[in-house]
C-alpha cells in the first residue's frame, strides 16, 4: 500500500481561516487576506474546532493517489459520499496477472492461506481462459475477487477527511482501511497540522466511543455508553 498526496488547496489553513473570517466580519472578499497573520489564522482554526464549526473546513481539499489496496477496501471508500474517486478500470485494463491482499487472519493461518492462494490461482487461470475464448474483459471481470489490488485517486475536503479519520482510524475499522487512514493522516498533517490537530478516532480525540456494545475496550479513555 502506498499513499501519495498529489495536490491540495494552496495554503489550506489560510483559506479555511479566511472563509471563517468572512462569517464574523464586514470585510469584502478582496479584503479577507489583508492584515491576516499566522497568529490570527491559527486562532480562527482553533476556535472553529473548539466550537464544532466545520463548514469553513470544506474550502480546503486534498487529492491522494492510493496504490496497492484491495477492491474490498475501495468498496468501503465509496461509502464516504463527500468525495471524488477515479479508479483503475477492469473494463479497459487487463488483469491477467493480478496481485492480491491476504488479510492477516488468513495469512497467519498456514492451512487457510494455502487454500486462499490456491483459489486466487484458479480464478486467475479461469479469467485468462475467458479472455482466450474471446470473452470481453468487462464480462470476464465478474469472477475477479475483492482481494485483488487496485489503484485509485481520491479527493476529499478537510471536513470530510476529519469524518473519515474518526471512523477509519478506529480499532473497529477493518485492518487494511485503518492502515490507509493513518497513512493519509500523516500526509495531511505535514501540510495542514492545525486543520488536523484533532483528527483521529473519537476515543482519542473526544474521549467518546460511538460503537456502543461493540466498544473495543483497548483504549483507556472515558467511554460514553449509548443505548442500542
- Does any domain span residue 105? yes
Q: Domain count of the chain?
A: 2
* pLDDT digits 0-9 by tens, 33-72: 788 888 889 998 999 998 889 999 999 999 999 999 999 9
- Does any domain span residue 108? yes
Beta carbons of 161 and 198 less than 8 angstroms apart:
no
Q: Which one of the listed residues 166, 168, 172, 178 is annotated catalytic?
A: 168
> Where residue 11 sits, what CATH number does that domain have?
3.30.1360.170
What SS3 class is residue 87? strand
Structural domain containing residue 115: 101-143
Give the global pTM: 0.91
- Does any domain span residue 21? yes
Has 168 been annotated as catalytic? yes
Same structural domain, 51 and 13: yes
Same structural domain, 66 and 153: yes
* pLDDT digits 0-9 by tens, 134-161: 999 999 999 999 999 999 999 999 999 9
Cα–Cα distance, 107 to 124 (Å, whole number): 19
Beta carbons of 100 and 148 less than 8 angstroms apart:
yes
Amino acid at each position: 500500500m502506498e499513499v501519495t498526496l498529489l495536490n491540495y488547496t494552496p495554503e489550506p489553513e489560510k483559506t479555511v481561516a479566511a472563509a471563517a473570517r468572512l462569517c464574523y466580519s464586514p470585510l469584502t472578499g478582496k479584503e479577507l487576506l489583508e492584515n491576516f497573520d499566522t497568529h490570527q489564522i491559527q486562532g480562527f482554526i482553533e476556535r472553529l474546532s473548539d466550537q464544532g464549526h466545520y463548514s469553513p473546513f470544506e474550502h480546503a481539499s486534498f487529492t491522494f493517489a492510493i496504490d496497492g489496496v484491495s477492491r474490498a477496501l475501495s468498496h468501503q471508500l465509496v461509502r464516504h459520499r463527500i468525495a471524488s474517486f477515479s479508479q483503475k478500470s477492469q473494463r479497459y485494463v487487463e488483469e491477467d496477472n493480478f496481485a492480491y491482499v491476504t488479510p492477516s487472519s488468513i495469512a497467519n493461518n498456514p492451512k487457510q492461506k494455502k487454500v486462499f492462494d490456491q483459489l486466487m490461482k484458479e480464478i486467475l487461470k479461469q479469467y485468462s481462459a475467458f479472455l482466450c475464448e474471446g470473452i470481453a474483459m468487462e464480462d470476464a471481470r465478474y469472477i475477479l475477487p475483492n482481494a485483488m489490488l487496485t489503484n485509485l485517486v481520491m479527493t476529499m475536503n478537510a471536513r470530510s477527511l476529519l469524518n473519515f479519520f474518526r471512523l477509519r482510524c478506529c480499532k473497529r475499522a477493518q485492518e487494511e482501511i485503518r492502515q490507509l487512514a493513518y497513512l493519509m493522516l500523516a500526509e495531511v498533517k505535514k501540510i495542514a497540522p492545525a486543520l488536523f490537530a484533532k483528527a483521529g478516532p473519537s476515543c482519542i480525540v473526544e474521549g467518546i466511543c460511538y460503537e456502543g456494545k461493540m466498544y473495543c475496550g483497548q483504549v483507556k479513555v472515558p467511554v460514553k455508553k449509548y443505548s442500542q
